[in-house]
């Protein structure tokens, strides 16, 4: 398996281009299943999660064409998706196991074909990941759902019917799935306590361009008037706010200065305010966001994850790593996932001072220095937190299990090298040759 080798202690300075958002792109790809026409997505990030979703759609009978493109002067991918007729209505375990966002095929296929079978995703490193909200909402829309042999088997032979649905939790995945299902249902669907994440507004924008009638996206009440058919559209994926927030921490943790090209301040208000409160200069530029921590003396900050527009759980590990280099104590509280401090024991191996209380909170005390070590993480964002600690640490850090990073950070080494990091990927083959 590939590894990342970092020699820490360098101040990072320059510009990093922020790619299209993974968590926007995944449901957008699945929205293409709602029509027989072509849906073209531009500004697509080159990530293994996108490749996994594309493989699943090909298996369902979607024809996918891939183009090398330039968006805002930067290379990216454009994909065209055409599902004239699905050749399968099953998302098998082997696909769902690799990427749980495979559940996004549930809503679109059920709405278009009246039948779908999706393997249940099961738990994962950050905790149990239930699907009760997705399934209960589909049942309220008239679907018959059965769990058999590890699969969700859903039927709606007489079409899904609009319904008034109140989610018990503002789930991102369920909001996307039900918006897609309701777009082709009979009548009006209202989702109360919908998630408000920017990726949801992006999906609504594509669906509306395809002919859907959705309003209220970005608020906690979304209304969807079902239509009988949707057509093709072309759509540009929004910039990745989590990637932007991660590189903002790279600037802060190395006391450097990075302009995050294309990053959108309005989607990052809460984490950028925490950086400011900690002592980092953060400003909006004509091209994105400038994060300037040169000569900054950082002070510890309390952080609590929350639903958007609160502090994103997907930036918790990165900000926790930053707080190790701040003066004083910080309390980091995780409210979304029950098991999201797996980066802590690895950071301790680098000299961190962290006390985890139960599953939900950690007290982080700033340390004089971190020192490089061999580390590995069990999820994507935790892996990036280890890269960040490695950038700030004295000596060499080797981050194992790089496949997690490849799921969500496009051209990670290239981007960090471009701002002065001493970072390289050790390919498995090189490693074997060296042994
Ligand atoms: C998405 C993101 C993930 C992020 C998460 C929260 C994608 C591909 N992934 O995941 O990176 O960490 O939002 O911002 O976009 N829940 C239930 N029942 C359900 C569904 C969810 O109880 O049926 C709970 C979950 O256990 C969790 C909370 O709701 O505590 C939020 O989960 P959800 O927003 O659904 O996360 P995902 O969409 O899976």
Q: Which of 169, 170, 271 best tests ligand 1's pocket when mutated (most atoms within 8 Å of CB)?
A: 169
Q: How many CA atoms lie within 13 A of 126 on its CB side?
A: 18
Alpha carbon of 67 to ligand 1 centroid (Å): 31
Sheet of 63-71, strand order: 63-71, 74-82, 38-44, 233-236
Provide the token pair at 87: 């050749």
Q: What is the pLDDT confidence band of residue 124, given thresholds at 50, 70 and 90? A: low
Alpha-carbon gap, residue 375 to 55, rounded angstroms: 31
Alpha-carbon gap, residue 27 to 207, rounded angstroms: 11
434: pLDDT strictly greater than 50 = no
Whether 131 is in the pocket of ligand 1, judged by its Cβ within 6 Å, is yes
Peptide bond into 309 cis (omega under 30): yes
Whether 49 is in the pocket of ligand 1, judged by its Cβ within 6 Å, is no
Stretch 130-151: mean pLDDT: 96
For residue 339, what pLDDT is reported? Answer: 83
Question: Is 3-18+239-434's fold the same as 22-236's?
Answer: yes
CA-nearest of 371, 370, 295, 367 to 330 is 367
Q: What is the pLDDT confidence band of residue 428, given thresholds at 50, 70 and 90? A: confident
Q: Mean of the per-residue pLDDT values for the chain?
A: 95
With contact defined as beta carbons under 8 Å apart, do 190 and 140 qualify? no
Task: Give the pLDDT confidence of 153-191 residue by residue, as tens digits.
Answer: 999 999 999 999 999 999 999 999 999 999 999 999 999
Residue with CA nearest ligand 1 atom 35: 171
Stretch 335-350: mean pLDDT: 93
For residue 101, what pLDDT is reported? Answer: 93
357: pLDDT strictly greater than 60 = yes
Whether 314 is in the pocket of ligand 1, judged by its Cβ within 6 Å, is yes
Whether 152 is in the pocket of ligand 1, judged by its Cβ within 6 Å, is no
Residue with CA nearest ligand 1 atom 5: 172
Cα Rg of the chain, angstroms: 22
Task: Give the pLDDT confidence of 291-327 residue by residue, as tens digits.
Answer: 999 999 999 999 999 999 999 999 999 999 999 999 9
Alpha carbon of 171 to ligand 1 centroid (Å): 5
For residue 238, what pLDDT is reported? Answer: 98
CATH top-level class of 3-18+239-434? alpha beta
433: pLDDT strictly greater than 60 = no
Q: Which of 118, 172, 178, 240 best tests ligand 1's pocket when mutated (most atoms within 8 Å of CB)?
A: 172
Alpha carbon of 173 to ligand 1 centroid (Å): 6
For residue 293, what pLDDT is reported? Answer: 98
For residue 359, what pLDDT is reported? Answer: 84
For residue 121, what pLDDT is reported? Answer: 81
Stretch 127-138: mean pLDDT: 89
Provide the token pair at 262: 């294309």
| Domain locations in the chain as residue ranges | 3-18+239-434, 22-236
Least confident of 24-33, 125-134, 230-239: 125-134
| Share above pLDDT 70 across residues of the chain, in percent, rounded to a whole number | 97
Q: What is the pLDDT confidence band of residue 72, given thresholds at 50, 70 and 90? A: confident
Whether 172 is in the pocket of ligand 1, judged by its Cβ within 6 Å, is yes
The hierarchical CATH code for the domain 22-236 is 3.65.10.10
Q: What's the length of the chain?
A: 435
Looking at the CA of residue 133, tell me the nearest atom of ligand 1: 23
> 124 an active-site residue?
yes
For residue 430, what pLDDT is reported? Answer: 61
Stretch 132-160: mean pLDDT: 96
Whether 171 is in the pocket of ligand 1, judged by its Cβ within 6 Å, is yes
């Amino acid at each position: 398996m590939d590894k990342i080798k970092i020699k820490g202690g360098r101040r990072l300075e320059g510009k990093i281009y922020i790619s299209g958002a993974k968590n926007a792109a995944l449901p957008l790809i699945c929205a293409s299943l709602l029509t027989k026409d072509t849906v073209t997505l531009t500004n697509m990030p080159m990530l293994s999660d996108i490749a996994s979703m594309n493989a699943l759609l090909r298996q369902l009978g979607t024809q996918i064409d891939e183009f090398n493109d330039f968006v805002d002067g930067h290379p990216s991918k454009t994909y065209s998706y055409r599902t004239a007729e699905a050749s399968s209505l099953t998302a098998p375990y082997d696909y769902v196991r690799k990427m749980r966002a495979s559940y996004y095929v549930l809503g679109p296929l059920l709405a278009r074909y009246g039948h779908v079978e999706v393997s249940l995703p099961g738990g994962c490193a950050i905790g149990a990941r239930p699907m009760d909200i997705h399934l209960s909402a589909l049942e309220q829309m008239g679907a018959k759902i059965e769990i058999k042999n590890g699969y969700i088997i859903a039927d709606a032979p007489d079409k899904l019917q609009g319904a008034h649905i109140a989610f018990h939790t503002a789930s991102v995945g369920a909001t996307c799935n039900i918006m897609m299902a309701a777009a082709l249902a009979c009548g009006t669907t209202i989702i109360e306590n919908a998630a408000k994440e920017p990726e949801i507004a992006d999906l609504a924008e594509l669906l509306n361009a395809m002919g859907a009638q959705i309003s209220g996206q970005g608020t906690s009440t979304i209304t969807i008037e079902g239509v009988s058919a949707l057509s093709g559209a072309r759509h540009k994926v929004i910039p990745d706010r989590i990637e932007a927030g991660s590189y903002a921490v790279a600037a802060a943790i190395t006391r450097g200065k990075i302009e995050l090209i294309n990053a959108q301040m309005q989607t990052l208000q809460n984490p950028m305010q925490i950086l400011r409160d900690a002592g980092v200069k953060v400003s909006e530029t004509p091209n994105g966001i400038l994060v300037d921590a040169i000569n900054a003396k950082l002070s510890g900050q309390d952080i609590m994850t929350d639903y958007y527009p609160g502090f994103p759980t997907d930036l918790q590990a990165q900000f926790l790593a930053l707080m190790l280099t701040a003066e004083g104590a910080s309390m980091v509280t995780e409210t979304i996932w029950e098991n999201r401090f797996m980066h802590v024991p690895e950071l301790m191996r680098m000299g961190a001072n962290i006390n985890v209380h139960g599953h939900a909170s950690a007290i982080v005390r700033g340390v004089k220095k971190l020192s490089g070590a061999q580390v590995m993480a069990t999820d994507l964002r935790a892996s990036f937190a280890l890269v960040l600690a490695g950038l700030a640490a004295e000596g060499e850090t080797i981050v194992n299990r790089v496949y997690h990073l490849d799921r969500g950070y496009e051209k990670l080494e290239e981007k960090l090298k471009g701002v002065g990091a001493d970072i390289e990927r050790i390919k498995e083959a090189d490693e074997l040759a060296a042994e």
